[in-house]
A and B are shown apart, each in its own frame.
Chain A
Amino acid sequence: MGFPHPSHPGETVVLSKHFGDAGARTHAGWVERGGYEGLRKALGMTPEAIIEVVKASGLRGRGGAGFPTGLKWSFMPKDDGKPHYLVCNADESEPGTFKDREIMRWTPHALIEGCAIGAFAMGVERCYIYIRGEFTEPWAVMAEAVREAYAAGTLGDNAMGSGKPIHITLHRGAGAYICGEETALMNSIEGRRGNPRIKPPFPAAAGLFAMPTTINNVETLAAVPHILVRGAEWYKSLCKGNPKSTGTKLISVCGHVQRPGNYEVMLGTPMKELLYDMCGGMRPGRTLKAVIPGGSSVPIMTAEEAESALLDYEGLIEKGSMLGSAGMIVMDDSTDMVYQIMRLARFYAHESCAQCTQCREGTAWTTRILERILSGKGKESDFDLLLDLADNMTGTTICVLSDSCAAPVVSGIRKFRGEFEAYIRRERAPVLELA
């Protein structure tokens, strides 16, 4: 539901059912609300059967890439004699995204239950939940919930009396955006600098501590108990668009809508319905200008593209963008697109881990050019320069942070070129003063 707003009838409330319900935070409260039934059921199944159910549900990674979760789980090697790990990526740092924060704040046991099921299905020695450093309240809630789960015997060497060990350790980040990249996150847990690793090897072969590792997003794991309780067929039926995109998705909507917040919708829901019905549309007298639908790293959509798009993995690719983490940044006609793109570039320049040359230097240079344009010192040649830098920064680095900085520049120039030209041709007053 669009917490703190009441749930909208257009939503399909599964994960967010107990958002705002403080009673759901405790172990007892969670059990009262039907919690840990999924884990109990899972502990009575074979690991292979659990993975089959998750595969059949069509659940896909909710962190951004949309990789089929069951398939990912099945990549873990069997009986190789090594310790295996499950890592939950709770380093939700993508600008515009705030869904995992709410899951951990209100329903910590949903995440613990999902982690426990995954841990059992993949035979992992330990599950690490890597929580973003700035998430002080979710951290406190999660820490208490894990303590309770151990005290209740839900976790431990004899999880829920099954005789099977399930262990969860919380790990707190220190504030680097890049640690949300899965291999940088593993380096961070290991106590190293949070730099993304070269792939291959992929985590399933050599991940955390160089052991086979699966890494899943908070929302992905939180959906797993529901799938086990209510069945793969039920989950698959939660689909309004492309049958490859099943289930519900929490969409974090921020920016120029009347009611920003988290909305849980079936995949395939038209974006127009979300923006205008659930979020109440634009502020009075304003019209939609642009939407960044999947967190700051995905290409910007124009109003026309957004209003005709379906909210699922395929629907947004069709419109030239991506579902990503579904952190939706909505911008109305009061928005200065050049300024917004500069702010995004500045963010990436600040957060670049500095490993790869193109990213370290390119993000900062791109930012400086955009700042110069905003200060009234732009040149016509800046278009070619920005696009050429973006080309050099795309597909050439270890991770995609560099690409993420380039994407809004390219889509911004392509779709809102007039706004750049207004600054460059001095038709618009400068808004920045350069030092």
Chain B
Amino acid sequence: MTQELVTVTIEGAQVQVPKGTTIIEAAKQAGILVPHYCYHPSLPAPAVCRMCLVEVEKAPKLLPACVTAVAEGQVVHVSSERAKKARTGVLEFLLINHPLDCPICDQSGECELQDYTFQEGRAATRYRDYPKRYNPVEDFGPDILYVTNRCILCTRCVRFMDDVAKSAVLNVSERGDRAFIGIAEEQLLDHPWSGNVVDLCPVGSLISKDFLHKARAWELDKTASICTGCSQGCNITIETRDDAVVRLKPRPNMDVNRHFMCDTGRLDYRWMNRGDRIEAPLLRQGTKAVATDWDTALDRLGQLTGGSGRAVILASGRASVESLGLVRAMLDGFDVTAAVRVPTGPEAPLAGIPNLALRSERAPNVHGAERLGYTRDWAGALNAAGTADLVVVLDASLDAEEEQRLQEVKGALVVLGTVVADFHHRAELVLPVTTMAEENGVYVNRDGRAQRYMQARNQAGMARPSWWIAGEVLAGPGPDADAPATAAQAFEDVGRRYPAFADLSHQSLGWVGQTLRETAGTAR
């Protein structure tokens, strides 16, 4: 079925868009931003802020671009004198009761009211003779404050809760310029996805307590990443200040998470900043573990993995496709039992968006691991570890009983770890590896979609990605060895070894990922 296209001219640029497209979306296609507040592509459009009024030739009035569908031959002016005057007027009205407390406002620097006012607002106010409206700050929920005075009543938050979360706890209370966002009596804004209202708020009215006064927006470095909270694979941005992760934000991906992420994922970043990291390779010498250099450590690892017999890999569900694939390949001489740990929790769907939920599988790469020959049979793998000739722990977090069992294994124990644990005393080798925030890599979500994440902060000490360690061992010793030097190369190496990832590259996955072809027998 082909969609009927209409041709419109926006700011002199001709675009062809499907019939029914709104002017604001057609303008995007032409590379033109129509300033707006209440409109959001993942919410129903109410056309209340009136910021997106544009001049359409032959229409007597200015029309709201967010709800007006394009028509064949339409000529739209976004920057005509009339449209500009209307926007300047709206900005002036929005500002008369806005506190201008930008110096202490978390939104400052990423505020749409600031941005558009700089572009087209009045240089000075004409509202000089009256006090601004005052209302106290409200505590809306576990992580959300409502700074009433800054609110521009765009109602994005109300519509998110009504139409997307389907939990109508927010409302517009009162009328006229006394209006504010109200919360239902005896209710809290504690829906598992409620943090999205902070992102949706175009000004600093709904703010996160977790992020409160942590950083100014312009101090943040932003890195495209994937949430590690569950197997949904929400696309996110990791935001760092001076190399510390201070905030996670959803990154739009229309096929995975649209513009949203859940609060569990949003607040799950403190482990990325842990200071108790393993910073150098530790080699067992008698009863002691001594810090050593990578050459020595890799030589020892080569000896250990050069043997044969039975090997067990106990891996974290957060390990990348690259690391899981190459670490398993490194043990090719053995009869390998490999498992990933999959923590579980209650599922929390976002009712208004199909196929979007906080999943009960609370690990980002379980489905990637399964395609690389890992199973979820954690207990079985632990049992097998007891008598195996070689046990490799790939950054798996273990409880006290599991750690005890690992202290009692008969074979050699190798740990590729991020933080120190007691059972490491028993290991032949403890190798410092990067967290996902410190490396590039690929995860496969529950729908078989392979998605890239990028390095957001520097690695701790001498830590290296696990794929680098395995790649070095696989290539053998010596300066001429052809080991992968980047995650992209490691990924292609995995593709040569595992059919599920054949013919893919970081480049082909792009920024939104790609669904894997299902191959018969996902492991090789």
Contacts and interface: CB of A to CB of B under 8 A. Distances in A.
Interface of A: 176, 178, 193, 198, 349-358, 360-365, 368, 372, 377, 385, 389, 391-392, 395-398
Contacts of A372: 129
A367 to B, nearest CB: 9
B368 interface: no
Contacts of A364: 176-177
Contacts of B60: 395
Most buried by B among A353, A385, A396: A396
B270 interface: no
A398 B94 CA distance: 17
Contact of A361 (B47, B97, B171): B97
A310 B480 CA distance: 101
B174 interface: yes
Given A350-B175, A350-B176, A351-B176, A358 B93 contact: yes
A349 B64 contact: no
Q: How large is the interface on B (under 10, 10 to 19, 20 to 34, 35 or more residues)?
A: 35 or more
Given A357-B48, A358-B50, A392 B64 contact: no
A186 to B, nearest CB: 15
A154 B49 CA distance: 47
A399 B41 CA distance: 24
Which of B93, B172, B178 is most buried by chain A, counting CB atoms within 10 A of its CB? Answer: B93
A396 B50 contact: yes
B61 interface: yes
Nearest to B53: A396
Interface in B43-82: 46-51, 53, 60-62, 64, 67
Given A193-B171, A355-B48, 20 more contacts: A178-B175, A349-B176, A350-B175, A350-B176, A351-B175, A351-B176, A354-B153, A354-B178, A357-B49, A357-B152, A361-B93, A361-B94, A361-B97, A361-B177, A365-B93, A385-B126, A392-B85, A392-B89, A392-B90, A396-B61
B96 interface: yes
23 contacts: A176-B175, A198-B47, A198-B64, A349-B177, A351-B175, A352-B175, A354-B176, A354-B179, A355-B153, A356-B50, A357-B90, A357-B152, A360-B179, A361-B93, A361-B96, A361-B177, A363-B176, A365-B93, A392-B85, A392-B92, A396-B62, A396-B86, A397-B50
Nearest to B93: A361
B176 A357 contact: no
B458 to A, nearest CB: 45
Nearest to A361: B93
B127 interface: yes
B129 A357 contact: no
B118 interface: no
B130 interface: yes
Nearest to B171: A193
Given A349-B176, A350-B175, A365 B96 contact: yes
A368 B177 CA distance: 12
B225 to A, nearest CB: 36
4 A-B pairs closest in CB distance: A392-B89, A354-B179, A361-B93, A364-B177
Contacts of A395: 60-62
A145 B32 CA distance: 59
Contacts of B152: 357
Interface in B112-158: 126-127, 129-130, 152-153, 155
A372 B155 CA distance: 32
A352 B176 contact: yes
Given A198-B64, A361-B96, A372-B129, A356 B48 contact: yes
A174 to B, nearest CB: 12
B172 A193 contact: yes
Contact of A353 (B50, B53, B89, B175): B175
B153 A360 contact: yes
Nearest to A402: B50
Nearest to B37: A357
Most buried by B among A355, A385, A398: A355
Contacts of A351: 175-176
A39 B96 CA distance: 55
B232 to A, nearest CB: 32
Contacts of A350: 175-176
Contacts of B179: 354, 360
Contacts of A368: 129-130
A356 B153 CA distance: 9
A395 B174 CA distance: 24
B265 to A, nearest CB: 33
B96 A357 contact: no
A360 B93 CA distance: 9
B74 to A, nearest CB: 16
A248 B15 CA distance: 53
A294 B64 CA distance: 29
B67 A377 contact: no
Contacts of A397: 50
Nearest to B85: A392
A363 B126 CA distance: 15
B150 to A, nearest CB: 14
A257 to B, nearest CB: 32
Interface in B26-44: none
Contact of A198 (B67, B129, B175): B67
Given A372-B129, A396-B53, A355 B177 contact: no
B177 A354 contact: yes
A354 B151 CA distance: 12
A360 B67 contact: no
A357 B94 contact: yes
A360 B176 contact: yes
Contact of A398 (B47, B93, B97, B171): B47
B78 to A, nearest CB: 15
A7 to B, nearest CB: 40
Contacts of B178: 354
A350 B179 CA distance: 11
A63 to B, nearest CB: 22
Contact of B177 (A360, A391, A398): A360
B177 A198 contact: no
B315 to A, nearest CB: 52
A151 to B, nearest CB: 39
For A349, A358, A397, which residue has the most chain B Cβ atoms within 10 angstroms? A358
A230 to B, nearest CB: 39
